[in-house]
Structure formats: structure tokens, C-alpha cells
Amino acid sequence: MFRMKGRLTAGVLCAMLAAMLVVPVSAHGCHGGRRAGHHGGYAQSVQTTVTVCPYENCASAGRHTHSGVIYCGYDHSAGVCDNNCRALCPLEDCETLGRHVHGLYTYCGYDHGNGFCDGACRALLDVYTTYLAEGAANIVNLFQPAVLCVGGGVSRAGEALLMPLREKTAKRVYSKNAKRNTRITLAQLDNDAGIIGAALLEP
């Protein structure tokens, strides 16, 4: 008798649980046809292309909105924003090259002739770090130094220079699988490293 009641109770609980897990088809918006959205309405269009701002009197730089439509304030040659544009750094005392952040905004430290960063500096930096990695790998393979310092004006690019340089050099060195490898870092003396080093040489 008790077994029968237990089985009956278990069956009722299973049925209730199954009913709770069943999701009505209408909750997925399928009752409105193929074009219906999640709540039964029509799917909203999404803007996938951002064109150059056509308003002559608009002084907004970068991406901004007019009447719900997103435009770009920079003069891209193709007429379409490729998301590579950034404003040039407005701080007079800033010596950081490449793209960097002040506050919440990303700027570019290179002086582009068109008045905004169009991403070309990234391509140039990629070529530069490739050649630099070739030289760094040769030094590492020949002398196996503990630390390799990069100085001069180019060192002001910071991590934008170091990250690709380290990655490309690591692929070219013979000791890539060793426990300890040469550490590539920036010279603490920045652009004065060569001058101070020469001055400290004994005559």
C-alpha cells in the first residue's frame, strides 16, 4: 500500500516537473512567422556600415550620430569608416608614439598629414619590428645576453613596439625552448642611453 502511494506520488511529481520544463512555442516568437522577432515583432535592421559624415557644418570628430544614424567625422578616402581612425594626441608635452590612452580615449602619437590616424602607422610598425626582430635574433643567437635593451627615440612607442618585437624574436632564436631566454626590454635612459654610455667610456 505504501509502495503504491510512493510510486503514485513520484509519478505526479515527475509529471508536474515535465510540465514546468515545457516552453510554449509562442514564447519564442514563432507564431508570427519567419520574420517575427523574439517578442513577436518584426526584426529590427542593424547598421553594418558607417560612412563619412555628409553634414557640412558638423565639427564632430570620430564616430557620432545624426537622427539615429552613425557617421564618422574623419575623411576616409573610400567614404566608409574602417574603424582604424583615431584622433591625433592633443597634449603638447606627450612624447608617446603610436596609439595610447589619455583618460577614456585612444589617440595616436604620430603626426599624420591628413589630421587623423588612419591606421597606416600600424602597418609601418609591423614592417619595422620585423626587421628589428631579425637583428635582435642575431644578437641573441651569437651572444646569448641576459637582457637586450632597446633605446633611442623609437623606444617611446612602449608596449606597441615591445609586444610584436618579443613575439617575432622568439620565433627566430635557437634557444626558444630553453628554460631561460634573453629578456627584451626598454632602456631606462630612453633616448639618452647612447650619449651617457659614450660619456662613461674610459679614454
Read off the pLDDT of residues 95-125 as tens digits, 9 standing for 90 and up: 887 788 888 778 888 888 777 887 778 777 8
Interval 29-79: pLDDT, tens: 433 443 344 444 444 567 778 898 999 888 887 788 898 888 888 888 788
Q: What is the largest CA-CA distance in the chain?
A: 109
Same domain flag for 135 and 194: yes
Give residue 148's pLDDT: 95
Pairwise CA distance, residues 203 & 199, whole Å: 9
Instruction: Give yes or no for residue 168 having a pLDDT over 70.
Output: yes
Instruction: Give yes or no for residue 165 having a pLDDT over 50.
Output: yes
DSSP per-residue string spanning 1-46: -HHHHHHHHHHHHHHHHHHHHPPPGGGGTGGG-TTB-TTSSBPPP-
Give domain status of residue 27, yes or no: no
Give domain status of residue 89, yes or no: yes
Closest CA to 86 of 114, 119, 59: 119
CB within 8 Å of 67: residues ≥ 6 apart: none
Higher-confidence residue: 10 or 140? 140
Same domain flag for 154 and 83: no
Give domain status of residue 157, yes or no: yes
Give domain status of residue 3, yes or no: no
Average pLDDT of span 174-191: 86
Same domain flag for 131 and 189: yes
Same domain flag for 68 and 110: yes
Full residue range of the structural domain in which residue 157 is found? 121-200
Number of structural domains found in the chain: 2
Pairwise CA distance, residues 7 & 50, whole Å: 64
Same domain flag for 153 and 87: no
Element (H, E) at 148: strand 147-150
Same domain flag for 132 and 151: yes
Same domain flag for 127 and 196: yes
Give domain status of residue 1, yes or no: no
Pairwise CA distance, residues 126 & 133, whole Å: 10
Show the cell assigned to 137. 635574433
Indicate whether this model's pTM tops 0.75. no
Give domain status of residue 85, yes or no: yes
Same domain flag for 150 and 131: yes
